[in-house]
Amino acid sequence: MRCDVIAVGTELLLGQITDTNSQWIGEQLALAGIDSLLQVKVGDNLARITSVLVRVLADTDAVIMCGGLGPTHDDITRDAIASVMGVGLHHNESVAQVIVEMFASRGRTMAANNLRQAQVPDGATVIPQTRGTAPGLICPVVIDGVDKVIYAVPGVPHEMKDMIERAVLPDLLARAGEASVIRSRTLRTWGESESGLNERLDPLIARLEVEGNPTLAFLASGWEGIKVRLTAKAPTEAEAMAVLGRWEAEVRLLVDDVVFGTDDETMEFVVLQLLRDSGLSLGLAESVTGGLVSGRITSVPGASDTFRGSVVSYASAVKFDLLGVPHGPVVSEAAAASMARGAQRVLGVDVALALTGVAGPTEQDGMPVGTLCVGIAIHDEVHTRTLRLPGQRDQMRQMSVISALDLLRRALLAR
């Protein structure tokens, strides 16, 4: 069973609203074991919505349409569906009564155009509303002699999610007839380029292309690292997880040196866990990143049991006066080491991570843009490293965060 997704709304194309609905729907379809190969956005234009719907239906068994079911003149999803079905719209008195009663219960005057939401394509089944006014629709359609189905749900996220879980997924699974699940395992990596990972995994990818299950994909995610995602489909969750476990082990044999976490395990989560397991406290001294590292650290629930705080020593005077960095160049491994030592002293921590560098637009202390100097102090030991990072100012600063945390992770693992 394949089900694709069409998100309706000109605001999506203009970037005024981010289409998180399609992302969520795709995730739910995968969890239910229903293939979904295409997601499309289309504006509020009847001819274009109809054209897109016809094209998508040609290659799939079902379509979920999200949005365009409201009461205003540009809510025309139901009209497009009726056109594709080759039927008219009729007034559904039961739906109208629910809308009228909802406004009355809230003591509000109902505009007449709200009853547009009671217009239902002939032959469609209504998905009752429990949270708003616009009902959903289950619309059977025959395309070139093949039975297919269109689901229409509101664009309001909590209304959409309720209908997908309550009505759309059960109907899809009943039509599919054969239960299956799709599960994914994501290995998070840092320290190797996407092309480099691809090359190292080429022999395994060749085998997977023959076997077909699981599939492997790369996702470059900025300062979240490069993700290697395995996706398996099987009759049961236990079987899908067994497939993932077997192939994850093979992937790790080839690239485990750059794998830092699995699934939702961010770099900061992993670092905090290593510190927690060792009973170590953490402090930061940030210059080039201006607090970005501490922001990432404190985004992890429970970070306060390990993380003590950060000194954002952006000005050289703060490095000299507060952290005790000797006067001289502030973009150097020596300065990074002194910053780490100073953070240990000022914050009273076992471990300190320090970052100083050049984000641009011009060089500093004779160092080119993209230079990052990292200092790591663990008890009495100090480690330093200089990296050359790519990108414009914001990208360089973001890459500095994950690069420095990865160096700290490796230092903690080496103890």
Whether 12 and 146 map to the same domain: the answer is yes
Whether 240 and 275 map to the same domain: the answer is no
Measured distance CA(326)–CA(212) in Å, rounded = 60
At 11, phi and psi to the nearest 5?
-60, -25
**Which CATH number fits the domain that encloses residue 276?**
3.90.950.20
Measured distance CA(331)–CA(380) in Å, rounded = 22
Whether 141 and 223 map to the same domain: the answer is no
Q: What is the mean pLDDT of residues 351-364?
A: 95
Q: How many Cβ atoms are within 10 Å of 132's Cβ, its own excluded?
A: 18
- Counting the structural domains of the chain, the total is 3
Residue 330 has pLDDT above 80, yes or no: yes
- Mapped onto helix, strand or coil, the DSSP state of residue 218 is strand
Structural domain for 59, as ranges: 3-176
The DSSP output letter for 2 is B
pLDDT of residue 348: 98
pLDDT of residue 74: 85
Give Cα separations from 129 to 98, 121, 166 (angstroms): 8, 17, 11
**Which CATH number fits the domain that encloses residue 114?**
3.40.980.10
Whether 235 and 365 map to the same domain: the answer is no
pLDDT of 107-157, one tens digit each?
A: 877 777 778 888 999 999 999 988 877 889 999 999 999 999 999 999 999
Query: Confidence band (pLDDT; 50, 70, 90) for 321?
Result: very high
Whether 289 and 380 map to the same domain: the answer is yes
At 385, phi and psi to the nearest 5?
-160, 145
Query: Confidence band (pLDDT; 50, 70, 90) for 219?
Result: confident
Least confident of 8-22, 95-109, 391-405: 95-109
**Which CATH number fits the domain that encloses residue 240?**
3.30.70.2860
Whether 19 and 104 map to the same domain: the answer is yes
pLDDT of residue 233: 87
Query: Confidence band (pLDDT; 50, 70, 90) for 33?
Result: confident
pLDDT of residue 95: 84
Whether 120 and 72 map to the same domain: the answer is yes
Please tell me the pTM assigned to this model: 0.75
pLDDT of residue 403: 97
368 — alpha (psi -120 to 50), left (phi > 0) or beta? beta
pLDDT of residue 140: 97
Whether 354 and 255 map to the same domain: the answer is no
The arrangement of strands across the sheet holding 226-234 comes to 215-220, 226-234, 181-189, 259-262
Biggest CA-to-CA distance, the chain = 81
Whether 229 and 308 map to the same domain: the answer is no
- Mark which of 176, 194, 218 sits at the end of a domain: 176
pLDDT of 59-116, one tens digit each?
A: 999 999 999 998 888 889 999 999 999 999 999 888 888 888 878 777 877 777 778 8
The DSSP output letter for 364 is B
